[in-house]
């Protein structure tokens, strides 16, 4: 960005799935919050609840309805007008193609109309950088556990834009396993938070499930077999309310233990003592507690974004976009999205 543009806020737009997020951030690298001025969010949970999952076409249409009002709301929160913007950042992928196109089209058109630069942001990089919005942010190098939607991956971060995937999802990611397991036990959509809440009422030791792929070397994840174990245990049980809570607790413990074991391995393999947790599953209280305990025991530090920034949001997109715009990166005027996008293919910022 030019010198005058650097002093102006970046508008961040997130529309990758079922949440419409908008934020304004004035790039301040050394300030807590990195200069975050405003953020607004609309969730489509009620819209998709009757279907038990996200309906892509409905998601796209709802982004069309909600995005411009949210942009106006964020500008009002910050006391700014569109002419005060110095750049626009939008999620370009990965995600639902129709939903991505809504944010990309609005972001690209707004940037063109204002004559300011625009940048398409990788959704997972946004999650990865979300802890940098906190008062005491981590500095690279660090290891990041990204557990968001269909993603469960461990990433070595040598610098912003220099990423090496250490372990990835082979089938069901942790978030998918939470949602699918909740559904098979009859819990309401969205299943993950409902299952985690129910697990707090479960009795320890009533059930025990395996910790997938922890009995062999490697950092990849696979939770489809765990989901099957839970299904069989549930079908053979009395399916009472206490049993439902007991199964939920055993399932959550299996997921959390697996994530903690893999994080410890990744830190040991890289020689890093900083661990970043990001994505929707990063809001899980049991995971946060167990990782904090592991950090105290092993001597590593864990960084979490605040709960508002674990799920999809515009603030993380504004931050990632501001960093890349400040480094001189630009998007051309073509509206392009990438439903599949390798995190390792990103250029350094």
The residue extents of the domains of the chain are 5-130+310-345, 139-304
Q: How many other C-beta atoms lie within 10 A of the C-beta of residue 52?
A: 13
Contact 144, 131 (CB under 8 A): no
| CATH class of the 5-130+310-345 domain in this structure | alpha beta
HEC per residue, 95-137: CCHHHHHHHHHHHHHHHHHHCCCEEEEEHHHHHHHHHHHCCCC
Is residue 93 a known part of a binding site? no
Taking Cα atoms as reference points, which of 127, 143, 173, 172 lies closest to residue 302? 143
pTM higher than 0.85 for the full model? Answer: yes
Q: Is the pLDDT of residue 162 over 70?
A: yes
Contacts of 253 (CB under 8 A, 6+ apart): 199, 204, 209, 286
- What pLDDT, on a 0 to 100 scale, did the predictor assign at position 6? 66
Provide the strand spans (E) within the chain.
Answer: 10-14, 19-25, 36-43, 87-93, 118-122, 142-148, 151-159, 162-167, 274-278, 301-303
- What pLDDT, on a 0 to 100 scale, did the predictor assign at position 5? 61
252 CB burial (10 A radius; 0-12, 13-18, 19+): buried
Edge to edge, the sheet with strand 118-122 lists: 36-43, 19-25, 10-14, 87-93, 118-122
Contacts of 260 (CB under 8 A, 6+ apart): 287, 290, 291, 294
Q: How confident is the model at residue 148 (pLDDT cuts 50, 70, 90)?
A: confident
Do 139-304 and 5-130+310-345 fall under one CATH topology?
A: yes
Which DSSP category does 184 fall into?
H
Q: Is the pLDDT of residue 62 over 90?
A: yes
Is residue 295 a known part of a binding site? no
To the nearest whole percent, how much of the chain has pLDDT over 70?
Answer: 98
* Segment 197-252, tens digit of pLDDT: 999 999 999 999 999 999 999 999 999 999 999 999 999 999 999 999 999 999 99
* Segment 166-206, tens digit of pLDDT: 999 999 899 999 999 999 999 988 888 999 999 999 999 99
Tokens of 269: 């393999």
Is residue 146 a known part of a binding site? yes
Is residue 48 a known part of a binding site? no
Is residue 63 a known part of a binding site? no
- What pLDDT, on a 0 to 100 scale, did the predictor assign at position 1? 52
- What pLDDT, on a 0 to 100 scale, did the predictor assign at position 69? 98
- What pLDDT, on a 0 to 100 scale, did the predictor assign at position 2? 52
* Segment 63-114, tens digit of pLDDT: 999 999 999 999 999 999 999 999 999 999 999 999 999 999 999 999 999 9
Is residue 284 a known part of a binding site? yes
- What pLDDT, on a 0 to 100 scale, did the predictor assign at position 149? 76
Contact 184, 172 (CB under 8 A): no
Is residue 149 a known part of a binding site? yes
Is residue 123 a known part of a binding site? yes
Q: Under CATH, which number does the domain 139-304 receive?
A: 3.30.420.40
- What pLDDT, on a 0 to 100 scale, did the predictor assign at position 287? 96
Q: Is the pLDDT of residue 273 over 70?
A: yes
The radius of gyration computed from the CA coordinates of the chain, to the nearest angstrom, equals 20
Give the chain's mean pLDDT.
Answer: 95
- What pLDDT, on a 0 to 100 scale, did the predictor assign at position 228? 93
Is residue 308 a known part of a binding site? no
- What pLDDT, on a 0 to 100 scale, did the predictor assign at position 150? 83
Is residue 150 a known part of a binding site? yes
- What pLDDT, on a 0 to 100 scale, did the predictor assign at position 60? 98
Tokens of 299: 């001597």
């Amino acid at each position: 960005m030019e010198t005058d543009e650097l002093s102006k806020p970046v508008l961040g737009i997130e529309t990758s799935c079922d949440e419409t997020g908008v934020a304004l951030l004035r790039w301040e690298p050394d300030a807590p919050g990195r200069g975050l001025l405003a953020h607004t969010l609309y969730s489509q949970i009620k819209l998709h609840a009757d279907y038990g999952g996200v309906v892509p076409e409905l998601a796209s249409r709802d982004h069309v309805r909600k995005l411009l009002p949210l942009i106006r709301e964020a500008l009002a929160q910050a006391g700014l007008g569109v002419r005060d913007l110095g750049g626009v950042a939008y999620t370009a992928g990965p995600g639902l193609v129709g939903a991505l196109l809504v944010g990309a089209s609005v972001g690209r058109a707004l940037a063109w109309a204002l004559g300011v630069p625009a940048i398409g942001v990788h959704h997972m990089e946004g999650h990865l950088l979300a802890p940098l919005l906190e008062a005491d942010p981590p500095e690279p190098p660090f290891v990041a556990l990204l557990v968001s939607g269909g993603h469960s991956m461990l990433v070595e971060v040598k610098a912003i834009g220099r990423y090496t995937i250490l372990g990835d999802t082979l089938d069901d990611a942790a978030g998918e396993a939470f949602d699918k397991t909740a559904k098979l036990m009859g819990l309401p959509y969205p299943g993950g938070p409902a299952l985690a809440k129910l697990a707090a009422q479960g009795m320890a030791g009533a059930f025990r499930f395996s910790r997938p792929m922890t009995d062999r070397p490697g950092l990849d994840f696979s939770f489809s077999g765990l989901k099957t174990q839970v299904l069989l245990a549930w079908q053979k049980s009395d399916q009472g309310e206490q049993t439902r809570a007991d199964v939920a607790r055993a399932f959550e413990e299996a997921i959390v233990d697996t994530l903690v074991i893999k994080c410890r391995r990744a830190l040991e393999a890289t020689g890093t003592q900083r661990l970043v947790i990001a994505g929707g599953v990063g809001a899980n209280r049991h995971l946060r507690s167990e990782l904090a305990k592991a950090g105290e025991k092993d001597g590593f530090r864990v960084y979490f974004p605040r709960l508002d920034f674990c799920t999809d949001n515009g603030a993380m997109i504004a931050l990632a976009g501001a960093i890349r715009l400040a480094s001189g990166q630009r998007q051309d005027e073509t509206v392009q999205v990438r439903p599949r996008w390798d995190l390792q293919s990103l250029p350094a910022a």
